[in-house]
Structure 1
Amino acid sequence: MRVIAGKAKRLKLRTVDGLETRPTTDRIKETLFNILNPRLADCDFLDLFSGSGAIGIEALSRGAGSAVFVENGKGAVDCIKYNLHNTGLDIGASILAMDVLSAIRALEVQGKVFDIIFMDPPYNKRLEKQVLEALMNSNIIYYNTLIIVEASIETGFEYLENSRFQIYKEKEYKTNKHVFIELK
C-alpha cells in the first residue's frame, strides 16, 4: 500500500497486522480521491475507523489543511503514527485513540468543524448507522460537510430517507461501495 499522489506520492505505508482492518486498495482509493479532489485544498478532514491511516494520509498528501484520525486499536494507532512520521505529514495531523462515538463528543467540545468526514467501519455491523445518527445533530458538521461511508455492497441506507441526510452519490465496486452523504 502506498500514497498515490501529492507531497508524499509513492511512499509506502505500513498496514496493521491481522484481519482486524481491511486496507482500501490503491485502485479504489484513487477513484475516491478523484471524486474528492475539488474539495481537498485546505479542508479539515476527519478519518473515522482509520486503520492504518491511509485515507487521511492521502488527504493530507493531496492538500488537506488538517486531518484527525480516530482509531481505538493500539496496533492501528501505532501504525498511523509510524505512517504519519514516515510520510512527513504529521504536522497538521492529530490522532484520537478512542472509539468513534466518544471521539465525536470530544470534537464537539473542542468546537472542531469538518469539511470532509470519511468512515470505514467494520462491515455489516450497522456501526455506520450509529455514527450517522451521532453526526446528524452534531456541531462538527455544517451544511457543506461531505460524509463518505465505505461499506459492504449489501449495506442499506434506507433509514436516511427520514433524516436530515441525503445520499449525494454512490460508487459501487465489486464487494464494497462508497456512499457520499450530505445534509438535505
Structure 2
Amino acid sequence: MQQSKPKQQSKQSKSGAGTVRIIGGSMRGRKIRFSGADGLRPTLDRVRETVFNWLARDIAGSDCLDLFTGSGALSFEALSRGAGSVVMVEKNRKVAEALKVNCQSLNIQAAKVVNLDADKFLRHNSQKFDLVFLDPPFGKGLMQQTIDSLKPHLKSNALVYIEQEKSDQEYIPDDSFEPLKSKKTGSFSYSLYRFL
C-alpha cells in the first residue's frame, strides 16, 4: 500500500524569511515569499485546509480583514478561493513590503496592504468586513483588546477566525460572538466565531 506524502509546510530560513504555497483555489500551487520578523508564524497547511473547509460556503465575494497579516498565507488563500477583497494590516515595514511584492507577482488587484499597527488601523478605519482573520503574536495579550476594538468594523453575521497560543487563559469572546468551530494542536488553538 502506497503511503501518502506529507503535505509541504512553509519553508523558513534561519533569518525567518521563507515561502508558503497556496493550497487551494485559482492560485493553488503558487508560492508567496515572506520576510523574517519576530513572532512571524505562517499558518500551517493542514490548519489552513481545515479553516477554509469551515469557510467554504462563506468566502466567495466576502470583504476580508487580516490583522497581524505576517506572511499573508490566510489573505492569499482567501483571495485564491474567491474572496472579494482583502485588507492586509502589517506593522513591520519589511514584511508589508514583501506582501506588496507578492500582490504584484500574483497580479492581485483585490488586496490592499496597510503598513500600520492593528490598533491604529482600527481607530482610523471606516470599512466593515464579512470575515476577519486574527492571528496576533503569541504572548503579547493582544486578543481581547483587538476583538473589543474590532466590533464596530464587523458586518452583521461576520465571521471571525482566531488563532491563539494554547494556555489555561485562552481568550474566549463574549456573548456577541457565537462559537462555530474549534480545534487544538500541541501549541495553539484555532476557532471560528460568528458576530451576532
CA deviation after TM superposition for structure 1 residue 57, in Å: 0.8
Identity %: 33
Report the TM-score, using the length of structure 2 for normalisation. 0.83
Give unpaired runs (5+ residues) of structure 2. 1-19
Specify the alignment match of 1:177 in structure 2. 189
Q: 1:145 aligned to 2:196? A: no
Query: Do the aligned partners of 1:167 and 1:180 also contact (CA within 8 Å) in 2?
Result: yes
**Cα deviation code 1:59-80 (max 9, x no counterpart):** 0011001000000101110111
**Structure 1 counterpart of 2:57, from 32, 35, 38:** 38
Q: Which amino acid aligns with 1:99?
A: D
The alignment of Structure 1 onto Structure 2 pairs a total of residues equal to: 176
Q: Where do 1:32-181 residues align within 5 Å?
A: 32-89=51-108, 91-108=109-126, 112-136=127-151, 138=152, 140-154=153-167, 155-158=169-172, 160-161=173-174, 163-181=175-193
Query: Do the aligned partners of 1:47 and 1:117 also contact (CA within 8 Å) in 2?
Result: yes
Query: Do the aligned partners of 1:52 and 1:83 also contact (CA within 8 Å) in 2?
Result: no
**Cα deviation code 1:9-40 (max 9, x no counterpart):** 10111122244301111121111111111111
**Cα deviation code 1:100-146 (max 9, x no counterpart):** 111112222xxx1111000110112220111111123x1x2122101
| Shift in CA distance, 167/97, structure 1 to aligned 2, threshold 3 Å | same
Q: Which amino acid aligns with 1:113?
A: K
Query: Do the aligned partners of 1:45 and 1:67 also contact (CA within 8 Å) in 2?
Result: yes
Where 2:31 maps in the other structure, the secondary structure is coil
| Shift in CA distance, 73/107, structure 1 to aligned 2, threshold 3 Å | same
CA deviation after TM superposition for structure 1 residue 52, in Å: 1.6
CA deviation after TM superposition for structure 1 residue 42, in Å: 0.5
Which whole-Å CA distance do the structure 1 matches of 2:195 and 2:61 have between them? 21
CA deviation after TM superposition for structure 1 residue 177, in Å: 1.5
Give unpaired runs (5+ residues) of structure 1. none
CA deviation after TM superposition for structure 1 residue 179, in Å: 1.9
Which whole-Å CA distance do the structure 2 matches of 1:71 and 1:152 have between them? 19
Q: Which has the higher strand share?
A: 2
Q: Which runs of 4+ in 1 moved over 4 A?
A: none
